[in-house]
Amino acid sequence: MDAYLKTASCNKTKGLGWCRKCAKCAWVFLATSGLFGHDLAVSKAGGDLFADADLSALYEAMAGLPGAGDKPFECTGTEEEVRSAIQAAGQHGTDVPALAACLRDPDVQAARPLDVVLKDWGQDDLLPEALKARVRRAAHL
């Protein structure tokens, strides 16, 4: 897990940390929180992105919610993955102003649970067969 905490892929800082404002940072924080817990996400990003209400519109756009504008053209999850991760983050009991509007949206409320979405991963022809077993082991699927 130490290696994961040391990685950064923010396009704005070019791998030198996290800007904590762009779609890529928002997605990595959301995915980390959903998969490994809120505390680890805060440690990784160096701050709590869910506490920043200014990111609300970005999370709404990433989730493809009506009226939110275009989904960012960044390395983020699909609308379904984002909605499921938002739903999971809302269940952790932490204060999440950046996700408040998303959590009230019927599309997010109707999203499949994150663990169900993750079980679909790798069920396409995009991943070479030689890597599927290795990835499943790493993801504990």
pLDDT per residue as tens, the chain (141 positions):
666 667 777 888 877 889 999 999 999 999 999 888 899 999 999 999 999 999 999 999 999 998 888 888 778 889 999 999 999 999 877 789 999 999 999 999 999 998 888 887 666 666 677 777 887 777 765
Supply the pTM of this predicted model.
0.82
> CA separation (Å) from 137 to 2, 15, 119, 132, 134?
19, 27, 12, 9, 5
Whether residue 126 contacts residue 82, with contact meaning beta carbons closer than 8 Å, is answered with no
Q: Which amino acid is at 33?
A: S
13 exposure class (CB count in 10 Å sphere: 0-12, 13-18, 19+): middle
